[in-house]
Structure 1
Amino acid sequence: MTGAFVVGGAVSLAAAALIYPGSSGASGIPASHDSVIAVTQWGPLTESDRDFVVKVRAAGLWEYPVGQLGLQKGNTEAVVTASRHLIDGHSALDATCRKIAPLLNIMLPNVASPQQQGFVSALTADTREQFDSDFANILRMTHGSIFNTVAKIRSTTKNTLVRVLADQANDTVLDHTTVMERTGLVNFDQTLLRQTTPPDLPSSDLTPPPPTLGQPMVVLTPPPTATSTPVDIDAIT
């Protein structure tokens, strides 16, 4: 993945302690979606809070390379501009995720979900003539789908770190939704139908796999002209 690199040697897994989708959580409490799975100095962490941090990380792991792809294959200035926004916004979100995850003992994925990897593969295989339309509609659909999730987390979480990530994600998702619409290529009837129809996929295809023991963490490199910035976690902690 051009523009992404790995740092810091092995990720410290401490497998029993780290919280990841599908685990029982650090507290040992049977997890329902809103069950508290850890108590932290920044407030309780629920399963939905944990899943949200993982989803934000996973989103960057496929949208960042799609942004790079758009810089290469985009046929209009609007698509190239949208691609720059993807790279800029997700590099900043990724930095925030990587700052708060160890504080909350959350294990982050290093690759996107199989469904998300499928989006990247489809866009990579597109002809230049087809790319712009597929790019705008896939990204508009996925951002529309996550927008409500961001709002729900922002309105319900009791965890300060998750809340500031939701604030940043809200601004980023709205920005990315807007630049996709500005391409003039979004078919709203089809996109909104796909957005509101649950995918006919097994849950394993919708969840990014946990990192392999000893695997270095992937970092999404900010562009030289970055305008988005990560949250200043030091000011909160």
Structure 2
Amino acid sequence: MGGALSLTLVALAYPSMLGFSTVSSSADHVIAQTPTGPLTEADRDFVVKVRAAGLWEYPVGKLALQKGTTQAVRTAGQHLVDGHAALDDTDRRVAARLNITVPNQASPQQQGFVATLEGDTGKQFDSDMANILRTTHGQIFTTVAKIRATTRNSLVRQLADQANDTVLDHITVMEKTGLVDFDQVLFQETTAPKLPADQVTPPPPAPGEPQVTLTP
């Protein structure tokens, strides 16, 4: 398999916390009280993660539609495009209501996944896409479940419900390609090395930069 695997702006905007680690020792630290419930660091990070996921998986879906050599791979690509277009729309609306700054680019690690698949051709593309996406979706699946079980914010809970359905759908269509190496995927899901924060943190949007949207 190729590739690497009432709110205050002070509290929620760059650069204080946009990555996937927390600024305090406790992810359940409440950073704002909102009309839809308390907002924790973990809640905010989840909103950012959902946005970042769409910013790389959506273009991978479009690549699959163009480069996939089997109908199952192309079908998986269509699910990525449609699923992340819908999920990103919800995510951006939730972020706006909770005053959370979200990125316009995926993290360097995620951009590396896209670069790997852009360089692949033929059956290598099919295999790499199925295994990279099955690994990353397996990793995020547990995060979605934890947020859904613990958040006290109703908007974040609604986003987690939709994310759960989307991630499970994408896991399923990757497996239906018949290309997933389950032993390798499970190993990578459970033993992935901890990367430096700058590799897993999406860059902040430039001041005044239009928000990127993902269209179905």
- The reply to whether TM is greater than 0.5 is yes
For 1:61, the equivalent position in structure 2 comes to: 55
User: In the aligned structure 2, how far is the partner of 1:24 from the partner of 1:145?
Assistant: 21
For 2:84, the equivalent position in structure 1 comes to: 90
User: In the aligned structure 2, how far is the partner of 1:199 from the partner of 1:71?
Assistant: 31
CA RMSD of aligned residues (A): 1.8
> Higher strand share goes to which structure?
1
1:133-187, Cα deviation, whole Å (9 max, x unpaired):
0000000000000000000000000000000000000000000000000000000
Taking only the aligned residue pairs, the percentage that are identical comes to 67
Aligned equivalent of 2:136, options 133, 142, 161: 142
For 1:110, the equivalent position in structure 2 comes to: 104
In structure 2, do the counterparts of structure 1 residues 166 and 129 end up closer, same or farther at CA, with 3 Å as the change threshold?
Answer: same
User: In the aligned structure 2, how far is the partner of 1:115 from the partner of 1:86?
Assistant: 19
1:23: Cα distance to partner? 1.4
TM-score normalised by structure 1 residue count? 0.83
User: What are the residue-to-residue correspondences of 1:1-237 with 2, within 5 Å?
Assistant: 16-17=9-10, 19-20=12-13, 23=16, 31=24, 32-222=26-216
User: In the aligned structure 2, how far is the partner of 1:48 from the partner of 1:173?
Assistant: 18
Aligned AA (2:167)? V
Q: Report if the CA contact (8 A) 1:21-1:50 is conserved.
A: no
In structure 2, do the counterparts of structure 1 residues 21 and 173 end up closer, same or farther at CA, with 3 Å as the change threshold?
Answer: farther
1:201: Cα distance to partner? 2.1
Q: Report if the CA contact (8 A) 2:9-2:99 is conserved.
A: no
Structure 2, gaps ≥5 residues long: 1-7
In structure 2, do the counterparts of structure 1 residues 24 and 77 end up closer, same or farther at CA, with 3 Å as the change threshold?
Answer: closer
Aligned AA (2:148)? R
Q: Which runs of 4+ in 1 moved over 6 A?
A: none
Count, aligned residues: 205
1:20: Cα distance to partner? 4.0
User: In the aligned structure 2, how far is the partner of 1:41 from the partner of 1:104?
Assistant: 9
